C-alpha cells in the first residue's frame, strides 16, 4: 500500500520560508498591513516542463561524519545551515511508518532554525529548534489558519547520542521524530503510474532573533529573519529497515562514515556551475517577461529568474477553486476570483518579506491584480511627467504592446457584460456633472470628465497579460530559460562591471550565476524588490547600505565600501492615494460581497464559466471607470481616476443598509501629485516604506485636490433616486473622513519611482537607457524607474515601458 491522504506519515516540519510570515506572532514596526501570507504551493507543482527549472535547488545525498547516517539534504550557502532527512522503508501493505531522522547544523548566530516537510503551514505539522544551556530545544506546532500555531503534543522527538551538540561556533541536532501523523501528501513515489513530480518543495528558515523563553518549547517567537526554498526527492530518501533501525537506536556506521566524531557536519560543497548567459533578468513580472521575450527574440541567451513559483495553469500552477476541480483553471486564470486574492488563508502568492502587497510568482502583479488595462497617453511619457526626451515617442512601443495584448472592455466570450448595475447607477450620478460616456482606450489622451466600462487584459474570458502572450513566445526559443523558486540576493560586481548574480541556489558553487563576456543583468523585481537588490549590491544611499552591512548574512556578499555607489535608490516614490466611498442602491447586486467566489459561488455562474468562459466569472470586480482634472492651490492640475465595483472591502457606518445592495467607488489621485515617499529595508532586510508617499506635499495641494474630487463625486447623489452614501455617513464631513483615513488602506499598491530614470546621476538611479549610473552593464526595467504616476493604474504604461526599454538596451553598444 502506498502512502496516501492526510494521515499518512513520516514527517516533522519546522518553519518554512514564506509560511513563517504568520506562523508566529509578529508585530513589526512600520508594517502597513496585517495580512495572512501562507505557503508556496498547496498542491502539486506545475507542468513537467517546469521541473527542470526547479531542480536547481534539489537536495543531495551526503553522509554525516559524526555517525555515518546517510542523509539527503542541503546546505544553505548564505547562512551555512544544513538540513538533512532520512526515512525508513515504505510498507508494502498495512500502516505506513510515522517517523524519520532529521538533522540541523547551524552557526551560533542562528538563534533558531526551522524546516517544513509538508510544503504548507496550514494543516501541517511545524517544528523549530534552538540551543539552550548546551542542549537543543524543540517545538512542534500545528495551525489551521494563518495565526500563531498551537503547540501540537502528538509527535515525540528524541535526540541521538552521537551528533547532537553545541560548541564554540555551531549547534547541531540529530533527532528521531516519531508519531508523526499530519502530512497532506505522501513521502514516497510508489504510485501505480510514474509521478509527474518526483520532487516536493520544502522550505527552510532561520532567525537571528532568539525566542521569547528559550527554555520553553511553547514559547512565543517572532518571524524568521530569512528563508528559502528547495526541492526534496522523497522517493529516494528511504533506507533499509536494518540501517534505519540501527541509526534510530543511536548506532553509527553504514554509508561511508568512519564514525570518528568530527566536530562539523555539512553537505559536500556543490560542484555544479551555472552556464553563463548573455542576459540575466531578475523577476518575471511584466517588466521582466516582456524584456526577456524581446531580448531572446533578438537571438541573445536569456535566463529569467523568478523567486516564486507557477501561477496560471499553462505556467504549471495547480491551485484551484474547489468548483473548478478537473478543469485547466487555477485561481489565477479565473478573473472573477480576483477579490479572493485578499481573503484566501492560503495566499502563498504574496511576497512575505515586503510589507505591502507584492506578487511573488510567475507574472508578478499581473497574475494577481484586477488587470485594469489603460493604454498609455502621450502625457504619461512626457518630459513634464519626468521622462527623458528620448522616451517621449512612446507610440511605436505602445502599438507593439497593444498588437500583442489588445485591451477589452467585454471579456466574456459571449460578448455580454454582467453585473453591470453599478455602471448604470454611477453613470446616472456623473452625467449631470458633465461626464461623457466613451470607450476609454479609444482615445488615451482624453482623460477629463470621461467615463466608461472597465478595460482589462483578459483573453478569452481568462487572465491574459504577459504570461499568456510574451512568456509563451519566449519559452518557444531554445535560447530562453525560466528558472523558478530561485531568489537573486545581489549582483556580483568587479568595480563598475557586473559579472553575475548571487542566488539562493544551493546546487551551484556559491549560488553564483555568471554572465558571458559583455553580458548584462536586468533587474525587474519591482519597485521594492529591485531596490533591495541594489542595496544588497552596494548601490544606494549610505544609511541603507550600512543597514545591509550590519546584516551578518548579507554583509559578506557586499562589495568593499570604496566600491559603494551613492544613488537615490528608494527615494522619489509615488503611489496613488486612494479613498473608498461606499454606497447603496436598490438595483445593485453586490454579488454577496464576493464572499464565496472561491469556495461556493452561485452554481449557475460557475457552470457557465466552466462551460464557455463566459458570465460573471469572466470579469474582475471593477465595472466602471471615470477621470476628471482637478485644480489645486499650488496651480498644478491633478487627475482623479474613479473605479466602481459591486461590494465593499469594509464598511464603517452608523446607517442601516442592505449588504446585497452595496457598491464602492475608489477615488485615486494620479497624474500631477506632488507627494513623495521613500522605501528601504529594515535590519532583517524586509522591504518596506520608510516615508509614506500620500498627501505629504508641503502646500497641502494634493489633499485639497483629493477633497475637491471626492466632493464632486457625491455632489449629484440626490439626482439618482434610491442612491445613498453610507461611508462616510452623515456623522462626519468629507474633510474629517480624509484626515482620519487609515494610511494603510490609502495604499493603492501602484508603487513607482524608487529607481527613477533621468539624465543626471545623483538625481536619478538609471540613465535614459535604464542603465544604473556608475555601472557598465546593470539595468532596471520595472515600475521603479517610472518618474511619476500615469493617468490610471500603471499596468499598461509599465508594459509599454518594457517594450521601449528592451529596444534601447539591445541598441546600446558594448553588449553581448
Q: How far is CA 87 from CA 73, 243, 608, in A?
A: 12, 10, 47
User: CB within 8 A of 145, min separation 6: which ones?
Assistant: 36, 122, 345
Give the Cα separation of 367 and 369 in Å (integer).
Answer: 6
Round to whole Å and give the CA distance between 638 and 591: 33
Count other C-beta atoms under 10 Å from residue 476's C-beta.
Answer: 10
Q: How far apart are CA 19 and CA 673, in angstroms?
A: 37
Asked if residue 174 lies in contact with residue 251, where contact means CB atoms within 8 angstroms, the answer is no
Element (H, E) at 744: helix 743-746
Q: What is the 3-state secondary structure (H, E, C) of 762-808?
A: CCECECCCCEECCCCCEEECCHHHCCCCCCCCCHHHHHHHHHHHHHH
Distance CA 530, CA 533 (A): 5
Interatomic CA distance for residues 782 and 805, integer angstroms: 9
User: Helices (DSSP H) in 568-634: which residue ranges?
Assistant: 603-612
| Separation of alpha carbons 321 and 342, rounded Å | 14
- Category of 78 on φ-ψ map: left (φ > 0), alpha (ψ -120 to 50) or beta: alpha
Q: Write the burial class of residue 501 (CB in 10 Å: 0-12 exposed, 13-18 middle, 19+ buried).
A: buried
Residue closest to 268 by CA, chosen among 83, 102, 62: 62
* Count of CA atoms in the C-beta half-sphere (13 A) of 614: 8
In angstroms, the CA 118 to CA 100 distance is: 13
- Does residue 348 contact residue 18 with C-beta atoms inside 8 Å? yes
The three-point CA angle 377-379-384 to 5° equals 165
Among 484, 513, 521, 488, which Cα is nearest to 816's? 521
Q: For residue 710, what are the CA distances in angstroms to 453, 614, 627, 642, 714?
A: 20, 34, 12, 10, 7
CB within 8 A of 513, min separation 6: which ones?
Answer: 274, 277, 280, 303, 305, 488, 500, 501, 502, 503, 505
Q: What angle do CA 313, 315, 319 make, to 5 degrees?
A: 45
635 Cβ neighbours under 8 A, 6+ residues apart: none
Nearest to 39 by CA among 308, 369, 250: 308
* 60, 267 contact by CB (below 8 A): yes
How many Å apart are CA 408 and CA 332, to the nearest integer? Answer: 18
Distance from C-alpha of 2 to C-alpha of 5, rounded to nearest angstrom:
10
| CA–CA dist 61, 72 (Å, integer) | 4
Q: How far apart are CA 6 and CA 182, in angstroms?
A: 6
State the greatest distance between any 2 C-alpha atoms of the chain, in Å, as a whole number. 88
- Nearest C-alpha neighbor of 204 from the set 103, 111, 81, 102: 81
Spatial separation of the C-alpha atoms in residues 291 and 289, rounded to whole Å: 6
* Residues 626, 473: Cα–Cα separation, whole Å: 35
Residues catalogued as catalytic = 750
Amino acid at each position: 500500500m502506498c502512502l496516501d491522504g492526510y494521515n499518512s506519515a513520516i514527517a516533522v516540519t519546522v518553519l518554512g520560508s514564506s509560511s513563517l510570515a504568520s506562523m508566529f506572532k509578529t508585530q513589526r514596526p512600520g508594517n502597513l498591513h496585517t495580512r495572512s501570507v501562507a505557503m508556496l504551493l498547496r498542491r502539486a507543482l506545475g507542468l513537467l516542463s517546469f521541473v527542470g527549472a526547479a531542480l536547481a535547488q534539489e537536495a543531495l545525498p551526503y553522509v554525516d561524519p559524526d555517525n555515518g547516517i546517510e542523509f539527503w539534504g542541503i546546505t544553505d550557502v548564505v547562512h551555512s545551515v544544513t538540513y538533512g532527512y532520512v526515512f525508513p522503508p515504505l510498507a508494502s501493505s498495512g500502516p505506513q511508518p510515522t517517523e524519520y531522522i532529521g538533522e540541523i547544523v547551524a552557526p551560533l548566530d542562528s538563534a533558531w532554525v526551522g524546516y517544513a516537510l509538508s510544503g504548507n503551514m496550514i494543516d501541517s505539522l511545524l517544528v523549530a529548534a534552538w540551543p539552550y544551556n548546551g542542549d537543543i530545544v524543540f517545538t512542534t506546532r500545528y495551525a489551521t489558519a494563518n495565526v500563531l500555531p498551537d503547540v501540537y503534543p502528538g509527535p515525540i522527538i528524541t535526540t541521538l547520542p552521537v551528533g547532537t551538540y553545541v560548541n564554540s561556533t555551531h549547534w547541531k541536532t540529530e533527532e528521531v521524530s516519531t508519531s508523526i501523523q499530519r502530512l497532506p501528501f505522501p513521502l514516497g513515489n510508489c504510485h501505480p503510474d510514474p509521478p509527474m513530480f518526483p520532487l516536493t518543495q520544502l522550505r527552510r528558515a532561520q532567525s537571528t532573533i532568539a525566542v521569547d523563553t528559550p527554555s520553553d518549547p511553547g514559547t512565543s517567537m517572532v518571524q524568521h529573519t530569512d528563508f528559502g526554498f528547495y526541492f526534496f526527492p522523497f522517493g529516494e530518501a528511504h533506507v533499509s529497515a536494518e540501517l534505519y533501525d540501527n541509526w534510530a537506536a543511536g548506532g553509527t556506521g553504514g554509508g561511508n562514515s568512519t564514525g570518528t566524531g568530527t566536530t562539523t557536519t555539512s553537505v559536500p560543497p556543490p560542484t555544479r556551475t551555472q552556464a553563463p548567459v548573455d542576459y540575466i533578468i531578475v523577476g518575471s513580472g511584466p517588466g521582466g517577461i516582456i524584456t526577456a521575450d524581446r531580448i531572446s527574440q533578438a537571438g541573445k541567451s536569456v535566463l529569467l529568474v523568478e523567486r516564486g513559483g507557477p501561477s496560471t495553469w499553462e505556467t504549471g500552477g495547480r491551485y484551484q477553486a474547489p468548483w473548478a476541480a478537473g478543469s485547466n483553471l487555477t485561481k489565477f486564470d479565473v478573473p472573477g476570483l480576483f477579490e479572493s486574492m485578499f481573503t484566501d488563508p492560503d495566499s502563498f502568492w504574496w511576497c512575505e518579506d515586503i510589507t505591502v502587497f507584492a506578487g511573488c510568482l510567475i507574472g508578478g502583479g499581473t497574475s494577481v491584480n484586477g488587470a485594469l488595462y489603460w493604454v498609455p497617453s502621450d502625457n504619461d511619457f512626457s518630459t513634464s511627467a519626468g521622462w527623458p526626451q528620448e522616451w517621449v515617442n512612446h507610440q511605436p512601443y505602445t502599438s507593439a504592446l497593444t498588437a500583442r495584448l489588445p485591451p477589452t472592455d467585454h471579456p466574456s466570450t459571449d460578448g455580454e457584460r454582467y453585473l453591470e448595475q453599478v455602471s448604470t447607477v454611477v453613470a446616472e450620478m456623473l452625467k449631470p456633472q458633465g461626464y461623457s460616456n466613451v470607450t476609454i482606450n479609444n482615445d488615451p489622451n482624453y482623460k477629463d470628465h470621461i467615463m466608461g466600462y472597465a478595460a482589462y487584459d483578459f483573453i478569452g474570458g481568462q487572465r491574459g497579460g504577459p504570461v499568456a502572450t510574451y512568456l509563451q513566445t519566449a519559452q518557444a526559443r531554445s535560447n530562453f530559460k525560466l528558472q523558478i523558486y530561485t531568489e537573486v540576493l545581489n549582483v556580483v560586481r568587479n568595480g563598475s562591471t557586473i559579472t553575475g548574480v548571487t542566488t539562493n541556489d544551493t546546487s551551484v558553487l556559491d549560488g553564483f550565476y555568471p554572465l558571458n563576456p559583455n553580458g548584462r543583468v536586468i533587474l525587474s523585481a519591482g519597485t521594492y524588490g529591485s531596490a533591495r537588490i541594489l542595496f544588497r549590491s552596494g548601490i544606494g544611499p549610505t544609511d541603507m547600505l550600512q543597514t545591509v552591512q550590519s546584516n551578518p548574512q548579507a554583509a559578506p556578499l557586499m562589495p568593499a565600501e570604496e566600491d559603494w555607489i551613492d544613488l537615490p535608490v528608494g527615494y522619489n516614490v509615488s503611489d496613488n492615494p486612494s479613498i473608498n466611498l461606499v454606497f447603496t442602491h436598490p438595483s445593485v447586486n453586490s454579488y454577496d460581497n464576493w464572499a464565496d467566489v472561491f469556495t461556493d459561488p452561485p452554481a449557475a455562474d460557475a457552470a457557465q464559466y466552466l462551460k464557455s468562459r463566459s458570465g460573471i466569472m469572466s470579469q474582475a470586480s471593477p465595472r466602471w471607470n471615470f477621470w476628471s482634472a482637478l485644480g489645486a492651490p499650488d496651480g498644478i492640475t491633478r487627475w482623479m481616476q474613479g473605479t466602481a465595483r459591486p461590494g465593499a472591502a469594509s464598511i464603517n457606518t452608523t446607517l442601516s443598509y442592505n449588504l446585497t445592495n452595496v457598491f464602492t467607488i475608489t477615488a485615486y489621485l494620479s497624474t500631477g501629485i506632488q507627494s513623495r515617499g521613500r522605501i528601504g529595508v529594515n535590519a532583517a532586510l524586509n522591504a518596506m516604506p520608510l516615508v509614506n508617499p500620500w498627501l505629504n506635499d508641503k502646500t497641502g495641494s494634493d489633499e485639497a485636490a483629493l477633497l475637491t474630487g471626492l466632493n464632486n463625486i457625491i455632489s449629484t447623489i440626490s439626482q439618482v433616486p434610491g442612491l445613498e452614501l453610507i461611508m462616510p455617513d452623515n456623522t462626519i464631513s468629507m474633510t474629517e473622513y480624509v484626515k482620519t483615513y487609515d494610511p494603510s488602506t490609502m495604499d493603492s499598491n501602484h508603487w513607482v519611482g524608487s529607481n527613477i530614470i533621468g539624465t543626471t546621476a545623483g538625481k536619478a538611479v538609471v540613465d535614459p537607457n535604464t542603465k544604473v549610473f556608475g555601472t557598465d552593464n546593470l539595468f532596471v526595467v520595472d515600475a521603479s524607474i517610472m518618474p511619476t504616476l500615469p493617468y490610471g493604474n500603471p499596468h499598461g504604461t509599465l508594459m509599454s515601458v518594457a517594450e521601449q526599454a528592451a529596444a534601447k538596451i539591445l541598441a546600446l553598444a558594448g553588449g553581448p
